[in-house]
A and B are shown apart, each in its own frame.
Chain A
Amino acid sequence: MAAETKESGKIHARPLSPHLQIYRPQITSVLSITHRMTGVALAVGTLLLVWWLAAAALGEAAYARVGAFIDSPIGLLLLFGWSLALFYHLGNGIRHLFWDAGRGFDLPTAEKSGYAVIAFALAATLVAWVVGLAVLGGR
């Protein structure tokens, strides 16, 4: 909305659309852009999924190569990042589906569900890695 000039000649400030440089980040807006960023990251992450499936179909040598990559520091870091992104996008996606159904769209609920999504993403990632490393250690 534009500024409005009153009879006195004084310019009254009116609400502006969110210019990112000056707009205070809020839990709702930060989680919104994070949903999009994790979505793009997960799309890139499908490259590893496809590589893993294709290598398994190709045979032992190719499967060993993808296994060695995942075991490397870079591979583990990528896998950890993607698992966190996946659980975040999953949790926040469910939050979006509730909004689509017209539920939980008021600000207090949206802020609470936002923090719940962060907690879920962190907890689910932790559980997945603890269980995964335990399975790996048991082999």
Chain B
Amino acid sequence: MATMGKKSLRSDLGRVRGLGSAKDGTHHWWGQRVTAIALVPLTIWFVASIVGLAGAPLAALKAWVASPVVAVLLLALVVAVFQHARLGLQVVIEDYVHDEAVKIASLLAMNGAALLLGGIAALSILKLAFGG
């Protein structure tokens, strides 16, 4: 960063791409922030709704999710939650797991779990929305 003059070892193409040594640039950082911003209103809406549904029978929950607006907001919440959790847990694993093999295995397991759990949640929302 400091030596961007003649002494920089970075190639012109590398500098233009701006992706750095990790080949990812600020993509991870942005993804964490974009999902965080999305989750502020989505979380407040979800918690307020769930508090209102405390102890509700299944029929009441189904009637709530039957609204297209509710179903889409729930899907958006699930996507944002699991993407945000995936990016956050990735950093935690990279910070504390130092054995390369264990680190890669942990990252694969965590990403797989996030994908599967998000998939189950999304399909459940769709099934409830379509009156299954």
Contacts and interface: CB of A to CB of B under 8 A. Distances in A.
Contact of A57 (B40, B88, B128): B128
Secondary structure call for the B interface: helix
B124 A128 contact: no
A42 B51 contact: no
A57 B117 contact: no
In which size bucket is the chain A interface?
Answer: 20 to 34
Contacts of B51: 128, 131-132, 135
Interface string A41-66: 01100110110011011011001000
Interface residues of B, number: 33
B120 interface: yes
Of A40, A43, A47, A133, most buried by chain B (CB within 10 Å of CB) is: A43
A93 B81 CA distance: 13
Interface string B94-132: 000000000000000000000001001101110110001
A63 B115 CA distance: 23
Contacts of B82: 46
